[in-house]
Chains A and B, each alone.
Chain A
Amino acid sequence: MTDVVIECRDLTKQYGAFTAVDHLNLTVRKGEIFGLLGPNGAGKTTTILMLLGLTEPTSGSVKVLGLDPARQPLSVKARVGYLPDQVGFYDHLTARENLHYIAKLNGIREPELSKRINEALDQVGLSNVADRRVKTFSRGMRQRLGVAEILIKQPQLIIMDEPTLALDPEAVREFLDLIRQLKASGITILLSSHLLQQVQAVCDRVGLFHQGRMVLEGTVGELAQRVLGGAYRIHVEAEGGDAVAAALRALPDVVQVSANGSRYNVEARADLRAEIARKVIEAGGKLLGLSVDTPSLDEVYARYFQKGAAYAARA
């Protein structure tokens, strides 16, 4: 077995006439954080359920850690942690009791069991509320308890479905930190979300889902390159009037310049900040500010779905 953790080949799932997942090909390698992106109903959750053997594929093949989830579900589920969207708990039990049940289902016995529970609680920062009923927990705490339930089985792969949905910004930040910690300990993570900034913040690679197909795949930079056509938006603040504007327009690779008083927005095919600085000075202007927008996933996403029809035709 190589370092491939998830491998899907032409994976298809149909519910009656509706095709939820359509010939999906996906490879995730060890130690990666892979983001599944896409609007609700794009097939993300169905894909996850097939990875766990909770739903059977209509056709195609899945391999998780080299195992077939439909035929070896117990081995797969013993090695893979799954955090469903809005994970539920037995509210009348305490955090520790919830963890105890999950550990028992995983066949973990005392004294290992207590040790793992305490470690997991420590790692997600819930040790001080371990004996409180889950009923009283905030959303952020519940989400962290969900992670603790996964950590207890010491998984090689963690699959999270919309993990940051309905968390407040502070809880999201803490949660993303937790994900980075997990990655640092060598765990592969598959994350599904439609909250793009968060995905961008932690994912090494992303796959964009649309109507059951994965339409784009790669790092955020690669996607930007492909969808935005390598557009850079450079903000220039300079005094010097028309001479500066003319100098900017004269630069090669500049697509468009729009002026607003002493502020200019330059759209270019490359990062021209150095050239722009030189030109402004040469044109006798005073350079006051210069910055470039890093391509954001939001933009890629919006742009993709704007011209979605055109892309679908090409893909």
Chain B
Amino acid sequence: MQHARSLAPARQREGSPWTGLWAVVAKEMADYLTSARMMILEALILLTAFGTVYAASQNLRAGAGTSDDFLFLRLFTTAREPLPAFVGFLGLLVPLLAIALAFDSINGEFNQRTLSKVLAQPIYRDALLLGKFLAGLGTLALALTAIWLLIIGMGLLQLGVPPSGEETVRMLWFLLITIFYGGIWLALAMLFSIIFRQPATAALAAIAVWLFFTVFWGIIASLLARTLQPAPPGDTQALINQIQLELLLTRLSPNTLFSEVALAMLNPAVRALGIVLPIQLHNAIPGTPLPAGQSILLTWPHATGLIAATIVLFAIGYILFQRQEVRA
């Protein structure tokens, strides 16, 4: 089919590529929401949400009286030893959840011998792949939104104050970014499920990429920056260049993008996500919060990057899937 399209407009394919899309989405989402692995992961996330948010609210209550305009945001970011804050956990758990949803989406159908049967129905491959992706994203969105609401509910009970409009906007934007952060890993796991015939291989490959970005990329980026952009002692400009290169490299990792968004959205006092020179802080009042709109602007490039990466990964998977032979 891809061949036919590239030849001439006269050989356009018949009908819409989205025929049957919603049938696929409905079926896949029902599968996801009832699958055992989804329940395990949801339980895990719920548990961390309860643990960390409870710990945070205890801390916040202890420190009540210190005037803080953003109590609700602190629920996400306050850590109490030995637990890290909830956002820290999210950075780890969301990729796992996404990978668990998608690592066997295509090769699973193949091994179950349902792929040729489904493709023999009057739908295009586009509908199958996009349907599976949308169902995964929808499942992620549903699970994360439920957890968000739970946290806000707990906050209301524990803190006894409602979130302000400002806080609500920040939390919503952060929720949206979190969903797309999951989208990247969903698209990656789906890509691997197209490339590898064994679901276990696909899962391992996706987890390897995740580990690489979580554990090693920071070290590698700093090493690379130091080699490519050496800064002799005393040369401030070279040092700035080096730091900026390192920042650029680390931002290739979705994990970095996500944690920077979390930092900027949940800490209104954060005014910039790069290096800030003292001269740039001239006339600024340290510690004053930014309006939510400004924080969104600050993280706009991150959001664009996360969404773009999701689309690129999905597109690569799409091309590979279109060219794949269906015969067993």
Contact = CB atoms under 8 A, between A and B. Distances in A.
Contact of A107 (B20, B26, B325, B328): B20
A82 B117 contact: yes
A119 interface: no
B326 A102 contact: no
Contact of A45 (B14, B27, B119, B327): B327
Contact of A105 (B11, B31, B123): B123
A86 to B, nearest CB: 6
A73 B14 contact: yes
A73 B24 contact: no
A213 to B, nearest CB: 19
B113 A86 contact: yes
B122 interface: yes
Interface residues of A, number: 37
B1 A55 contact: no
Interface in B110-127: 112-114, 116-124
A90 B31 CA distance: 10
A74 interface: yes
A100 B55 CA distance: 47
A278 interface: no
B15 interface: yes
Interface stretch (A46-54, A124-132, A248-256, A293-301): A46-54
Contact of A54 (B13, B24, B116): B116
A161 to B, nearest CB: 9
B112 A88 contact: yes
Interface string A99-110: 001101111000
Contact of B19 (A52, A81, A107, A146): A107
A55 B325 contact: yes
B40 interface: no
Top 8 nearest A-B pairs (CB, nearest first) are A88-B113, A104-B23, A82-B120, A78-B122, A105-B121, A77-B122, A88-B114, A88-B112
9 contacts: A52-B120, A54-B326, A70-B4, A71-B13, A77-B120, A87-B113, A104-B23, A105-B121, A105-B123
Interface of B: 1, 3-4, 11, 13-15, 19-20, 23-24, 26-27, 31, 112-114, 116-124, 325-328
